[in-house]
Structure 1
């Protein structure tokens, strides 16, 4: 039987070609996703390992936690005498101090603004520093700077040129050298300015303080023993970490940045495999139906049901193995393409060679084989049930079993109840249950509903003979039509769902922000740093303008609650009321001036807190701190201020080192024209190139930009699943042409032209695509609206219906269906009439 299985695949390889391609594409997506995230994680780890190479200990100011949401915690500077204290510890062979911070570069007045950080750091020779001079000399004198090779090459800087460094102090320095970071030319999306330690301290306004101290253990002294000795000497006020711990902490922070993209990519890969599974199952079901006589003859010749079942599963195994091997190979190459897609939508990932972990190979190969074999289980069972008598008669299309139909309607009922439950406050997990139930119902009821839906959707085709024949052909094979439609409908459901969810979030964010924020101008960093990025000098430069009535600052920070990270917003309660219309449910914002915290109403309800209660927050610098709840704010207004936890600027300064603003809300004086006020603010900020002055429309658009990035990236990735489904349309029609050879021959014999045959097949493809559009867009719209309602909390959030985008989906899907039918139509039209009529 195994020999027969291989011969059958080789003889009918064209039947399985598109099925093999579906396996290849699905596995390519999985492998590419794993390769991309593993590579990025490894490159981040290598960067931290390179930075710590040759160093045994790193000493910094103590903190309760190292990072939150992928952002490293900023530490207080260290006293000048700490370096001497570290060197005096027994077991320390050598130690060095470093000063580092933000330092924006300018060339001829033009700022160099990378997508990532602009770093200013003191130069540390090996083994304390990871940078090595590639050209020129080290920076030893005040007024000298070394740039990384990548920055110099990107912006055309050479040794001997002058650059301006903007830190806490601004100065023009001479480039005396170019350096590489280990084997790399620099850090991804980062500019590096390396100067002498005194110069760095001067530019960063540190006095004689430093950012960190690094130490090397003497020969024979284990780093862990030295860590204990230095820790005992310095006390609990300092964090003494081994290089291994430092690398692990940095890699963990980087991993949190990759978590979202990993989940997103693997979710899309799962969708592609699900769609591919429908295509595989449909292909095998059609092939088994076409081979019923062959299988019956095998049974009559003595083959057992088990042997037939193993034969079909053997075919699936061969296709799965070949497709998985090819897909894994292509997925490794696709890692580059996926990195490009992620970067195109604003996800910063490092450069470097691809990393292919054994886990990636095992998962990719295993998933491809398992999905293919599982998809063939149903057709294999059907093949095993073929009786020898089947060889004596034509096989018909079996009607769906009553049990299957009842189960399908039950699943549909669960889906309707789950979606409807959102009207009475059900959460998003109930919607997820409804989505799974809807998929089950679609799979089970497809053959039952397909004939009715095909005839309904296909009514416009009644005008022509070819259209009517296409409609009847699709209705005569309900299982085949349903499976093909379901595969395409899943992809369209996901696209519709994401479109409605994304547009609703955008509309809600924009509406809430416009309703709450009454400022004339909003000043924010052009680089959209998570914690801000505006120097405190920006605030002072704007508030003194005669055109400006008031400037109110917003800052963000992180804190931990039972291991989970949350964000908070720092406000100025004395000025916020003049630039924002904040509705308080209880208490007052003014009470923040005396300390305490204001919570969003929903956050307070979740925690069972009211005004007068206390909330314990864990800050990186100060540890556990109990703050009194002094007010509750409307949830929509809290959303406009970014978080559900509000503290004052004074409280923020007690617990955070960061001295940068996230947003400045500017109110112009009465009688000042908007254009004149904007121009005055822009002129005042000419010395701050990363400060972006926005009117309300631009500020709202900036907040919607993040949603657009995610929505755009997901849509691009989902197109792969739709592409696989369209392969299913092509594959199904191609196989149905084989099944209907005699029928097409008879139609040609009684006068149907080749062109009419082509259009009959094309219309069938369009009909399948149109049916998928009706089901997919309808189901996606329902689930999208239910999810928006479930996520909206107490106050219902209006659902945005982007009719233009949905119409584009409908048009493109229908056109794609027409394209999917081109090859099968061409094959059907080229059939020899006599050979087709005589076919069995």
Structure 2
């Protein structure tokens, strides 16, 4: 049977071409994602930037702290405190005088666009370790002089510098240095840098490394070589980008991989169904069911091996294209490069993708061959002359079970776990279930849908409408197989994109309802707003402002320290402008200076006194005055304003936003004009709260949108190819139908119209099933969002979905007309030959 399988493949290679294409692309997709993940787990160390010329860098460290388990910007308690004076004395004592240089890093921005670089201030003595050399001028000689990158200002200029401590400060440029790629730095004197940022970030030591390590013990890390990059600000951004990639790719692989497996298995099974006449003839001449199954298994093994090997190679060399797609979406770091490699870490996902392709090919072919192999020889020709409109019991059971599980999962998310919709990793996979169930049960729905969709055309003149309907009704398995890629394309993208837009809109509405103030300040090309700017606005008559300053709250949980975000804000402003949904207690407290408001999910009852550590290590006991309802990722503690002290308790002393309201009787035009004058050139932008809500929501939902849209793009590209591929296979195998139509007197134009109308009906069936599956997803989403945000309309991107449906239709039409046109050109419009007439008589 192996010889027969090889000969069959050689004779009917066109029928298997679509299967090979689908399998190659499916395996390539899975292999590329596996290679990307394998590469991410073993990336080469990034070179040091700010400390490239430093022999060693000392960083305070917590041995139990793993930054990969924490949000970007959250530091361990030792890192938040900075280098303590005792550690500075020990490192200094390990070397000669002058061997230790103090580094401080704090927000400092010159006028002009921010770009993509950090706007940061440093003491001048540390500049030489980052490769900074004076182009002209001299080092800063007093506290009102600075050195700036070339192109930012000229030597002798007086410039404004935005800092958290001073707001806008005036300095004279004493010299310039060559610009670098990773930051826009402003260099101050040691004394001025210490005033602006008391916290010491790191120490650069010229002393012998062994002596320094002995001096610091486990209290700090002594970084040398490429490890010095861990002291760069870019290390956090690299980690965030890599974490985002490592988080996103498995989600993409699960959705896109499941889609690819389903399409490949369906395509291979469809190719076997198309050959039922051949199988029936083999049974007639004496082939046993076991021989038939062995032949098909050998064919699948040959096709699967060749196609999977080609897909594996394509995935290996195409992994960089996938990385480029993620880089373009802002997920992966721009420096990520994936070259072809045969390292063990890369061979494992390649081997897994290869084996998966072979298994899928075998599973799709063998499952479809069982029914044909059970045909009795006496029934062979009769069975082969018409399509089997039934549905195998196993597929029916799988579809019903999947439908129950999918509906149950959707209902559970909607009513019991609505927060799941805010977790892209989990929710994206759940959206896949109803769509796949619809594809599995498609043969059952083809008949009713065909009658329903063709009902408006029943009175049309001519036989085309009747022929199209009856062709679909007598070929339901073929129709379901050709409609499946359309169903997956429209159903998955509609569910993914609608969920993304609906969740984003719900967040917008939630932010708008949570803020009562009509105006706001937002950073204008800066990481935050200086407290000096906030104070300046607060001095305007009739203006009230609330500016929460971000900090970190550390609490002890048994033997470890837990960290949480906190916002330092005036309680009166919190009550009047931010309006958290209080569940217990009251924001009004008799001891506002020592109380806090926490999220109810923290399980801290009202009245509890909680010992906490602030970012500078200060120990404070705070009483829980109230709890409020918060979503995952939005649960912060609201602290008294005394914890907003610049450089002491807060991360950087900057407010991420500020909310403004006007006292009764205040003229809005006068007040807003005064606010605009006050914030001009300070790195803050005045706007309405509606505009702020849009800005905040764009920032909050960026990663969610990228995750879901990138997954949709991968699925979309694969399904578009599957649509064209499947329709080409289906139409190319129907030359007998074309011959019958021509013998009955149909003109070439009528033949084209028949096949075109049938392909449009197939698309309509697929789209209808997609809408039904998406309706289940969106109904569950609507209930979940209503529980989370109150009113939450479902937003459907009609224009995008219309474009996707139009492209799917065009591909289906192309996949139909290309083989039909080729067959008609071969006939050149003449009468069919004797072989065709014999075929027609047999039909």
TM range (shorter): 0.7 to 0.9
What is the alpha-carbon distance in structure 2 between the residues aligned to residue 625 and residue 2 of structure 1? Answer: 79
- 2-structure distance, mates of 1:383, 1:83: 76
Displacement of 1:539: 0.5
- Tell me what 1:183 maps to: none
Structure 2 residue 275 is matched with structure 1 residue 291: yes
**What residue number does 1:589 align with?**
587
Q: Which residue of 1 aligns with 2:494?
A: 496
Matches within 5 A, 1:465-614: 465-527=463-525, 529=527, 533-546=528-541, 548-559=542-553, 566-582=564-580, 584-591=582-589, 593-601=592-600, 603=601, 607=603, 609-614=604-609
Residue 349 of structure 1 aligns with which residue? 333
Superposition deviation, residue 750 in structure 1:
2.6
Call closer, same or farther: CA 1:639–1:55 in 2, change over 3 Å: same
**Which residue number in structure 1 is paired with residue 450 of structure 2?**
454
TM-score of the two chains, using structure 1 as the length reference: 0.81
Q: 1:415 aligns with which of 406, 426, 432?
A: 406
Please tell me whether the aligned partners of residues 570 and 649 of structure 1 are also in contact (alpha carbons under 8 angstroms): yes
Following the alignment from structure 2 to structure 1, what is the Cα–Cα distance between the partners of residues 771 and 381?
Answer: 44
Find the aligned partners of 1:361 and 1:91 in 2 and give their Cα distance: 51
- Alignment partner for residue 203 of structure 2, among 191, 197, 213? 213
Q: Is the 8 A contact 2:731 2:815 kept in 1?
A: no
> What is the distance in 2 between the residues matched to 1:54 and 1:139?
22
Alignment of structure 1 residues 375-454 onto 2, 5 Å:
375-383=361-369, 386=373, 389=377, 395=384, 396-398=386-388, 399-421=390-412, 424-426=415-417, 438=434, 441-454=437-450
Query: How many pairs align?
Result: 791
How far apart are the structure 1 equivalents of 2:419 and 2:475? Answer: 37
Deviation at 1:38, TM superposition (A): 7.4
Aligned pairs for 1:651-690 within 5 A: 651=643, 653=645, 655-688=649-682, 690=683
Between the aligned partners of 2:87 and 2:353, the Cα distance in structure 1 is 55
Shift of 1:791: 6.2
1:322 aligns with 2:307: no
Distance 2:562 2:468 in 1: 57
Structure 2 residue aligned with 1:820: 812
Distance 1:160 1:39 in 2: 49
Rounded to whole Å, the distance in 1 between the matches of 2:398 and 2:526 is: 51
CA RMSD, Structure 1 to Structure 2 (Å):
4.2
Q: State the match for 1:117 in structure 2.
A: 118
> Are 1:268 and 2:268 an aligned pair?
no
Post-superposition offset of 1:683: 1.4
From the superposition, tell whether residues 249 and 165 of structure 1 become closer, same or farther in structure 2 (CA, over 3 Å): closer
Alignment check: 8 A CA contact 1:518 1:580 kept: yes
SS of the residue corresponding to residue 547 of structure 2 reads strand
Task: For 2:609 and 2:816, locate their aligned partners in 1 and report how far apart those are by CA, in whole Å.
Answer: 70
Displacement of 1:698: 0.6
Q: Deviations over 1:413-471 (max 9, x none)?
A: 34334434566535567997976763564344222222222332343454464444334
Structure 1 residue runs of 5 or longer lacking an equivalent are 181-185
**Residue in 1 aligned with 2:171?**
171
Q: Structure 2: any 5+ residue segments left out of the alignment?
A: none
8 Å CA contact 1:758–1:826 kept in 2: the answer is no
The verdict on how the C-alpha distance between 1:348 and 1:203 changes in structure 2, with shifts beyond 3 A counting, is farther
Q: CA deviation at 1:69?
A: 0.8
- Alignment partners' CA distance in 1, 2:686 and 2:40: 34
**Aligned pair partner of 1:97 in 99, 102, 122:** 102
Residue aligned with 1:821, SS: helix
CA distance in 1, matches of 2:533, 2:623: 31
Does the 8 Å contact 2:304/2:362 carry over to 1?
Answer: yes
Structure 1 distance, partners of 2:466, 2:121, is 73
| Residue 741 to residue 660, structure 1, CA distance change in 2 (3 Å) | same
